[in-house]
Amino acid sequence: MTEQTFSFTIEQIKDIFRAGIRRGEDEATAFDWGTRAWGNQFDECVDIVHDIVNENKQEHIPRSTVEDWFK
């Protein structure tokens, strides 16, 4: 895999941070109920990065490609 380099605005960084918070909340709730959080640990981050890199673009990068960046 080749390294990916991005430039993010402060708002985009905040969105990525909030995605991490959402995942953390899911993990905490699952822990409280004695279960595990559903899905991959990076799902929230993949979703927001996918939205960011495809914003205002004609040719969209598939979600599966963004998922591969997090492996």
pLDDT digits (tens, 9 = 90+) for 31-47: 889 988 777 888 899 99
Q: Is 43 within a domain?
A: yes
Q: Is 1 within a domain?
A: no
Q: Is 25 within a domain?
A: yes
Coil, helix or strand for 20? helix
Q: Is 3 within a domain?
A: no
Length of the chain in residues, anyone? 71
pLDDT at 2 exceeding the cut of 70 = no
pLDDT of 41:
83
Q: Is 4 within a domain?
A: no
pLDDT at 59 exceeding the cut of 80 = yes
Q: Is 37 within a domain?
A: yes
Task: Give the residue-averaged pLDDT of 8-31.
Answer: 91
Q: Domain count of the chain?
A: 1
pLDDT band at residue 52 using 50, 70 and 90 as cut-offs: very high
Structural domain containing residue 65:
10-69
Residue type, position 36, single letter: R
Question: How many angstroms separate the CA atoms of 46 and 22, rounded?
Answer: 13
